[in-house]
Amino acid sequence: MSSQHSRTRLATIAGIALTTALALTACGSDEESDNQGDNQSAAIPDVEISYEISEETEEVSIDGELNSDQPAAWVISEGDGEPITEDDLLEVHSANIDIENQEVLSHDFDLGGMTISMADLQAGNPQTYEAFLDAPIGSDVAIYQPENGIYDGAPAVLNIATVAQVLPTHATGEPVAQSELSNVLPEVTLDEETHAPSIATPEGEAPDELVVDVLKQGDGREVQPDSKVTIHYRGVSWSNGEEFDSSWGPDNTGSPISFDLQSLIVGWQEGLAGQQVGSQVLLSVPPELGYGGQDHELAEETLVFVIDIVHSADPMPAE
């Protein structure tokens, strides 16, 4: 099976499995969902799983029967990093396995993986949360969902997830010299404790075109036009400096959020494509690249955003 074919299958028939098996607990009736027992892992299956997964190699072997009717997650290989904590934001690389044929259907090991918050796991998938918690960074975890576990009629699913690293929740790139920045955009200051940015009230006439300032220069993966990005952001209106949206929240305790870049306003698509993970970017977005022409309260506003790029994953190749 070629790698391209397997990745295409991920995008079509297995994409839900990869993300949902990690992010959600097994589904069932409302009565079952309220049952605390449904949130408990089955005993660790008596199986041996060996594998080699990379851009060049897709091999897996399952020695034993994997047919439990309960979800389960367990460490199959320990890493050598620091223990995972309950507050961590993780970069996880995952592979979707055909249990019956012992084949790698698809994987994102060479595409940047995905970001997973331990807090979200605790709320949505207690089995995987418990397997990850205190495991060393670099560990490999098997995540099993039985038939009908993700949705009614779903086949049994096995994911192999590698916890690649703990991600910072703010831009960690090198500050760019003031002399290299635009003199028309408002000043950004950072909270010393949370690293949350604040945007000064803009002054003067709003720029007619998109203006992009890189405030911190990261050195990570380059954002592609159709990447999935994980970011922290704050946005204010140029006309009055009032905040209209923020992942940081009013008390700066929010968490980064993941988006498909192509689903965002054109100003973000043009301003973030080509930037590197770890960068902090300041954008001034004119109405036509924002919400202009839409039935939106900000349709006539020039918008100012400060965006911390935490992670970027390359898109799945088309068939």
Q: What is the DSSP letter of 65?
A: -
CA distance 139 to 10: 23
User: Tokens representing 155?
Assistant: 């086949």
Position of tokens 């990447």?
A: 227
In DSSP notation, 1-60 reads --HHHHHHHIIIIIHHHHHHHHHSPPP--HHHHT-GGGGSPPPPPS-EEEEEESSS-EEE
* Mean pLDDT computed over every residue of the chain: 86
Please tell me the predicted confidence (pLDDT) of residue 57: 85
For residues 255 and 89, is the Cβ–Cβ distance under 8 A? yes
Is the pLDDT confidence value at 213 over 60?
yes
Comparing CA positions, the residue from 158, 107, 162 lying closest to residue 140 is 162
* CA angle, residues 261, 265, 269, in degrees to nearest 5: 45
Closest CA to 265 of 247, 236, 286: 286
* Of 222, 245, 227, the residue nearest 296 (C-alpha): 245
The DSSP H or E segment spanning 310 is strand 303-313
Segment among 42-46, 153-157, 190-194 with least mean pLDDT: 42-46
Please check whether residue 212 is in contact with residue 282, taking contact to mean a CB–CB distance below 8 angstroms.
yes
- Residue pLDDT, tens place only, 88-121: 999 999 999 999 899 998 888 889 999 999 998 9
Element (H, E) at 129: helix 126-132
CA distances 207 to 59, 144, 204, 283, 285, Å, are 54, 52, 9, 11, 8
The neighbouring-strand residues paired with 165 are 91
Q: Is the pLDDT of residue 261 over 50?
A: yes
pLDDT at 153: 84
The more confident residue out of 292 and 156 is 292
DSSP string computed for 161-206: EEEEEEPPSS--SEEPPGGGS-SSSPPEEE-TTT--EEEPPP-SSP
Q: Does 123 or 206 have the greater pLDDT score?
A: 206
- SS3 assignment, position 229: strand
CA dist., res. 159 & res. 152, Å (int): 19
The pLDDT of residue 11 is 30
Grouping H, G, I as helix, E, B as strand and the rest as coil, residue 271 is: helix
Return the residue matching tokens 């998938």.
125
Burial grade of 100 (CB within 10 A; 0-12, 13-18, 19 or more): exposed
pLDDT of 22 reads: 57
Say how many CA atoms lie within 13 Å of 208 toward its Cβ.
0
Residues 6+ apart with CB under 8 A from 300: 287, 292
For the chain, give the percent of residues with pLDDT over 70. 86
- Of 279, 309, 305, 277, whose CA–CA distance to 176 is shortest? 279
Q: pLDDT of 39-84, one tens digit each?
A: 445 578 889 999 888 878 889 999 998 888 888 999 999 999 999 9
Q: What is the pLDDT of residue 150?
A: 76
Span 136-150, mean pLDDT? 91
Q: Is 235 helix (H, G, I), strand (E, B) or coil?
A: strand
